[in-house]
Amino acid sequence: MTAHLTEEEQLEALKRWWNENGKSTIAAIVLAVGGYFGWQGWQNQQQEQAEAASAMYQDLLEAAVVEPGQSLSESDKTTATHLAGSLKNDHASSLYASQAALLMAKLAVEEARLEDAAAELEWVLAQKPGAEVELMTNLRLARVAIAQQDYTKAQSLLTKPQAELGSFAAAYAEVRGDAYLAQGEADLARSEYQQSLSALAAGSSRRQILEMKINDIQAAPEVVAVQGEE
Protein backbone atom coordinates (compact mmCIF):
# COMPACT_ATOMS: atom_id res chain seq x y z
CA MET A 1 0.00 0.00 0.00
CA THR A 2 2.80 2.35 0.92
CA ALA A 3 4.58 1.60 -2.35
CA HIS A 4 1.34 2.27 -4.25
CA LEU A 5 0.84 5.59 -2.51
CA THR A 6 4.44 6.52 -3.23
CA GLU A 7 3.90 5.91 -6.95
CA GLU A 8 0.75 8.03 -6.85
CA GLU A 9 2.60 10.78 -5.04
CA GLN A 10 5.35 10.65 -7.65
CA LEU A 11 2.77 10.84 -10.42
CA GLU A 12 1.08 13.81 -8.77
CA ALA A 13 4.45 15.53 -8.35
CA LEU A 14 5.20 14.95 -12.03
CA LYS A 15 1.83 16.41 -13.01
CA ARG A 16 2.39 19.46 -10.84
CA TRP A 17 5.86 19.95 -12.32
CA TRP A 18 4.45 19.62 -15.82
CA ASN A 19 1.71 22.14 -15.15
CA GLU A 20 4.26 24.57 -13.80
CA ASN A 21 7.11 23.96 -16.26
CA GLY A 22 5.81 22.01 -19.21
CA LYS A 23 5.05 24.97 -21.46
CA SER A 24 8.37 26.63 -20.84
CA THR A 25 10.14 23.32 -21.45
CA ILE A 26 8.41 22.89 -24.80
CA ALA A 27 9.25 26.50 -25.71
CA ALA A 28 12.88 25.91 -24.82
CA ILE A 29 12.98 22.78 -26.97
CA VAL A 30 11.32 24.61 -29.87
CA LEU A 31 13.79 27.48 -29.57
CA ALA A 32 16.73 25.10 -29.38
CA VAL A 33 15.60 23.17 -32.44
CA GLY A 34 14.77 26.37 -34.31
CA GLY A 35 18.10 27.90 -33.34
CA TYR A 36 19.95 24.81 -34.57
CA PHE A 37 18.25 24.85 -37.95
CA GLY A 38 18.62 28.63 -38.12
CA TRP A 39 22.35 28.29 -37.45
CA GLN A 40 22.63 25.57 -40.07
CA GLY A 41 20.77 27.76 -42.56
CA TRP A 42 23.01 30.73 -41.82
CA GLN A 43 26.12 28.59 -42.26
CA ASN A 44 24.82 27.24 -45.55
CA GLN A 45 24.06 30.76 -46.75
CA GLN A 46 27.53 31.95 -45.79
CA GLN A 47 29.07 29.01 -47.62
CA GLU A 48 27.04 29.72 -50.73
CA GLN A 49 28.03 33.38 -50.66
CA ALA A 50 31.70 32.50 -50.21
CA GLU A 51 31.56 30.11 -53.15
CA ALA A 52 29.81 32.70 -55.32
CA ALA A 53 32.40 35.34 -54.43
CA SER A 54 35.25 32.91 -55.12
CA ALA A 55 33.85 32.00 -58.54
CA MET A 56 33.32 35.66 -59.41
CA TYR A 57 36.87 36.54 -58.36
CA GLN A 58 38.25 33.70 -60.47
CA ASP A 59 36.35 35.08 -63.47
CA LEU A 60 37.81 38.50 -62.70
CA LEU A 61 41.35 37.12 -62.73
CA GLU A 62 40.75 35.41 -66.04
CA ALA A 63 39.48 38.68 -67.52
CA ALA A 64 42.01 41.08 -66.01
CA VAL A 65 45.32 39.23 -65.86
CA VAL A 66 47.35 39.21 -69.07
CA GLU A 67 50.79 38.07 -70.10
CA PRO A 68 53.69 40.55 -69.67
CA GLY A 69 53.83 43.00 -72.53
CA GLN A 70 50.19 42.54 -73.44
CA SER A 71 47.29 44.86 -72.65
CA LEU A 72 43.66 44.27 -71.81
CA SER A 73 41.11 44.45 -74.56
CA GLU A 74 38.20 46.82 -74.12
CA SER A 75 35.91 43.82 -73.74
CA ASP A 76 38.04 42.39 -70.94
CA LYS A 77 38.19 45.81 -69.23
CA THR A 78 34.41 46.02 -69.29
CA THR A 79 34.08 42.50 -67.91
CA ALA A 80 36.67 43.14 -65.18
CA THR A 81 35.01 46.39 -64.14
CA HIS A 82 31.60 44.71 -63.95
CA LEU A 83 32.87 41.74 -61.91
CA ALA A 84 34.86 43.93 -59.51
CA GLY A 85 31.83 46.17 -59.00
CA SER A 86 29.61 43.15 -58.29
CA LEU A 87 32.06 41.80 -55.74
CA LYS A 88 32.28 45.16 -54.00
CA ASN A 89 28.50 45.62 -53.96
CA ASP A 90 27.39 42.07 -53.10
CA HIS A 91 30.34 40.75 -51.07
CA ALA A 92 31.89 43.89 -49.62
CA SER A 93 33.06 42.24 -46.39
CA SER A 94 34.84 39.39 -48.15
CA LEU A 95 38.55 39.24 -48.89
CA TYR A 96 37.65 38.65 -52.54
CA ALA A 97 36.10 42.13 -52.78
CA SER A 98 39.21 43.77 -51.31
CA GLN A 99 41.45 41.78 -53.64
CA ALA A 100 39.26 42.82 -56.58
CA ALA A 101 39.60 46.49 -55.63
CA LEU A 102 43.38 46.11 -55.28
CA LEU A 103 43.53 44.54 -58.72
CA MET A 104 41.46 47.34 -60.25
CA ALA A 105 43.74 49.89 -58.57
CA LYS A 106 46.75 48.20 -60.18
CA LEU A 107 45.11 48.36 -63.59
CA ALA A 108 44.25 52.03 -63.05
CA VAL A 109 47.88 52.86 -62.15
CA GLU A 110 49.10 51.10 -65.29
CA GLU A 111 46.79 53.35 -67.31
CA ALA A 112 47.83 56.49 -65.36
CA ARG A 113 44.32 56.85 -63.89
CA LEU A 114 45.65 57.84 -60.49
CA GLU A 115 42.39 59.21 -59.08
CA ASP A 116 40.62 55.96 -59.93
CA ALA A 117 43.44 53.98 -58.35
CA ALA A 118 43.26 56.07 -55.17
CA ALA A 119 39.48 55.58 -54.99
CA GLU A 120 39.84 51.80 -55.20
CA LEU A 121 42.51 51.73 -52.50
CA GLU A 122 40.54 54.02 -50.20
CA TRP A 123 37.53 51.72 -50.64
CA VAL A 124 39.63 48.81 -49.38
CA LEU A 125 40.71 50.79 -46.32
CA ALA A 126 37.10 51.75 -45.60
CA GLN A 127 36.20 48.05 -45.30
CA LYS A 128 38.55 47.71 -42.30
CA PRO A 129 40.49 44.74 -43.70
CA GLY A 130 42.96 42.73 -41.66
CA ALA A 131 46.19 44.33 -40.49
CA GLU A 132 48.35 42.98 -43.32
CA VAL A 133 45.93 44.02 -46.07
CA GLU A 134 45.64 47.47 -44.50
CA LEU A 135 49.41 47.92 -44.35
CA MET A 136 49.81 46.82 -47.96
CA THR A 137 46.97 49.08 -49.13
CA ASN A 138 48.37 52.08 -47.24
CA LEU A 139 51.69 51.50 -48.95
CA ARG A 140 50.14 51.40 -52.42
CA LEU A 141 48.01 54.45 -51.73
CA ALA A 142 51.12 56.32 -50.56
CA ARG A 143 52.85 55.51 -53.86
CA VAL A 144 49.84 56.85 -55.74
CA ALA A 145 49.90 60.01 -53.60
CA ILE A 146 53.60 60.52 -54.43
CA ALA A 147 52.79 60.20 -58.13
CA GLN A 148 50.10 62.84 -57.59
CA GLN A 149 52.68 65.01 -55.76
CA ASP A 150 50.53 64.92 -52.65
CA TYR A 151 53.45 64.40 -50.28
CA THR A 152 51.56 65.36 -47.14
CA LYS A 153 49.06 62.58 -47.76
CA ALA A 154 51.84 60.14 -48.58
CA GLN A 155 53.72 60.83 -45.36
CA SER A 156 50.54 60.56 -43.29
CA LEU A 157 49.90 57.12 -44.75
CA LEU A 158 53.47 56.05 -44.10
CA THR A 159 53.63 57.26 -40.50
CA LYS A 160 53.09 54.08 -38.50
CA PRO A 161 54.60 52.86 -35.22
CA GLN A 162 57.55 50.63 -36.04
CA ALA A 163 56.11 47.85 -33.89
CA GLU A 164 53.02 47.64 -36.10
CA LEU A 165 54.87 47.33 -39.39
CA GLY A 166 56.43 43.91 -38.94
CA SER A 167 57.59 42.56 -42.31
CA PHE A 168 56.47 45.81 -43.98
CA ALA A 169 59.08 47.93 -42.17
CA ALA A 170 61.58 47.91 -45.05
CA ALA A 171 58.94 48.74 -47.67
CA TYR A 172 57.54 51.64 -45.63
CA ALA A 173 61.01 53.11 -45.11
CA GLU A 174 61.78 52.84 -48.83
CA VAL A 175 58.57 54.61 -49.88
CA ARG A 176 59.18 57.32 -47.26
CA GLY A 177 62.55 57.74 -48.92
CA ASP A 178 60.88 58.02 -52.32
CA ALA A 179 58.59 60.74 -50.95
CA TYR A 180 61.52 62.72 -49.55
CA LEU A 181 63.52 62.34 -52.75
CA ALA A 182 60.59 63.57 -54.85
CA GLN A 183 60.61 66.72 -52.69
CA GLY A 184 64.34 67.21 -53.12
CA GLU A 185 65.20 66.12 -49.55
CA ALA A 186 68.18 63.97 -50.49
CA ASP A 187 69.61 63.54 -46.97
CA LEU A 188 66.28 62.41 -45.53
CA ALA A 189 65.73 60.10 -48.48
CA ARG A 190 69.16 58.52 -48.02
CA SER A 191 68.47 57.97 -44.33
CA GLU A 192 65.19 56.20 -45.09
CA TYR A 193 66.79 54.05 -47.79
CA GLN A 194 69.53 53.00 -45.38
CA GLN A 195 66.91 52.19 -42.75
CA SER A 196 65.07 50.10 -45.32
CA LEU A 197 68.26 48.33 -46.30
CA SER A 198 69.05 47.41 -42.71
CA ALA A 199 65.54 45.97 -42.27
CA LEU A 200 65.82 43.67 -45.28
CA ALA A 201 66.90 40.06 -45.11
CA ALA A 202 70.41 39.34 -46.38
CA GLY A 203 69.20 37.52 -49.48
CA SER A 204 66.45 39.93 -50.48
CA SER A 205 66.45 40.93 -54.14
CA ARG A 206 65.33 44.40 -53.05
CA ARG A 207 68.73 45.14 -51.53
CA GLN A 208 70.28 45.79 -54.94
CA ILE A 209 67.60 48.33 -55.84
CA LEU A 210 68.04 50.18 -52.55
CA GLU A 211 71.81 50.23 -52.95
CA MET A 212 71.32 51.76 -56.41
CA LYS A 213 69.02 54.43 -54.96
CA ILE A 214 71.57 55.29 -52.26
CA ASN A 215 74.41 55.38 -54.76
CA ASP A 216 72.41 57.64 -57.09
CA ILE A 217 71.90 60.14 -54.26
CA GLN A 218 75.58 60.09 -53.32
CA ALA A 219 76.67 60.47 -56.93
CA ALA A 220 74.40 63.43 -57.69
CA PRO A 221 76.68 66.18 -56.18
CA GLU A 222 79.68 64.79 -58.06
CA VAL A 223 77.82 65.04 -61.35
CA VAL A 224 76.98 68.68 -60.65
CA ALA A 225 80.63 69.42 -59.85
CA VAL A 226 81.88 67.88 -63.08
CA GLN A 227 79.34 69.82 -65.08
CA GLY A 228 80.45 73.02 -63.38
CA GLU A 229 84.10 72.41 -64.30
CA GLU A 230 83.16 71.95 -67.91
What is the per-residue pLDDT across 69-115, written as a single tens digit (0 to 9) for each?
677 778 888 888 999 999 999 888 888 899 999 999 999 999 999 99
Q: What's the CA gap between 165 and 172, in Å, rounded?
A: 8
Q: Tell me how many helices (H) and strands (E) the chain has.
A: 10, 0
Q: Has residue 89 been placed in a domain?
A: yes
Residue 213 CB: number of other CB atoms within 10 A?
A: 21
Burial category of 84 from C-beta neighbours within 10 Å (exposed 0-12, middle 13-18, buried 19 and up): buried
Q: Has residue 137 been placed in a domain?
A: no
Residues 117 and 175 placed together within one structural domain of the fold? no
- 8 Å CB contact between 217 and 189: yes
Residues 167 and 125 placed together within one structural domain of the fold? no
Q: What's the CA gap between 107 and 73, in Å, rounded?
A: 12
pLDDT at 57: 83
Binned at pLDDT 50, 70 and 90, residue 213 comes out as very high
Higher-scoring residue by pLDDT: 33, 199: 199
Higher-scoring residue by pLDDT: 56, 11: 56
Higher-scoring residue by pLDDT: 33, 207: 207
Residues 190 and 227 placed together within one structural domain of the fold? yes
Residues 161 and 212 placed together within one structural domain of the fold? yes
Q: Has residue 228 been placed in a domain?
A: yes
What is the per-residue pLDDT across 24-52, written as a single tens digit (0 to 9) for each?
766 666 666 666 556 565 465 556 667 77
Residues 154 and 221 placed together within one structural domain of the fold? yes
Shortest CA distance to 168 belongs to which of 196, 144, 142, 206?
196
Q: Has residue 51 been placed in a domain?
A: no
Distant-in-sequence, close-in-space partners of 180: CB < 8 Å, separation ≥ 6? 186, 188, 189, 192
Residues 154 and 122 placed together within one structural domain of the fold? no
Tell me the whole-structure pTM to 2 decimals: 0.72
Structural domain of 218 = 150-230
Q: Has residue 180 been placed in a domain?
A: yes
What b/e readout covers 170-208, taking b as 16+ CB neighbours within 10 angstroms? bbbbbbbbbbbbeeeebeebbbbbbbbbebbeeeeeeee
Q: Cα(first)–Cα(last) distance of the chain, in Å?
A: 129
